[in-house]
Amino acid sequence: MSTYESILSAASQLTIGERLQLIDDLASSVPDDQPPQLSDMWLEEIKRRSAEIDSGEVKTEEWADIRRRLFSKFGVDRAN
């Protein structure tokens, strides 16, 4: 079993709240100059959603508010 597979297996045993915390911590550790490689399908979706925001068709929310709401929903106590 590879290191990745063993880490994934161990992470799968965490509670939902712990997994969300781990996801947040891992995402925060990725340098800003290392964006993910996105498929053409995702790029088109991003363009579509951006156009909806630009036109005022949809209302945005602050990430801190969304994060706090999700952490609260799943019982994570680190919502800051």
pLDDT in tens, 57-78: 999 999 999 988 988 898 877 6
Instruction: Find how far residue 73's CA is from the centre of its chain.
Output: 15
Whether residue 18 lies inside any domain: the answer is yes
CA 36 to each of CA 3, 33, 53, 70: distance values in angstroms, whole numbers, following the listed order: 21, 10, 22, 23
Whether residue 78 lies inside any domain: the answer is no
What sign has the CA pseudo-torsion 72, 6, 36, 31?
positive
Q: Is the pTM of this model over 0.85?
A: no
Task: State the pLDDT at residue 1.
Answer: 80
State the burial class of residue 36 (Cβ atoms within 10 Å of its Cβ: 0-12, 13-18, 19+): exposed
Give the range of the structural domain holding residue 7, as residue numbers without chain letter.
Answer: 3-29+38-73
Say how many domains are in the chain.
Answer: 1
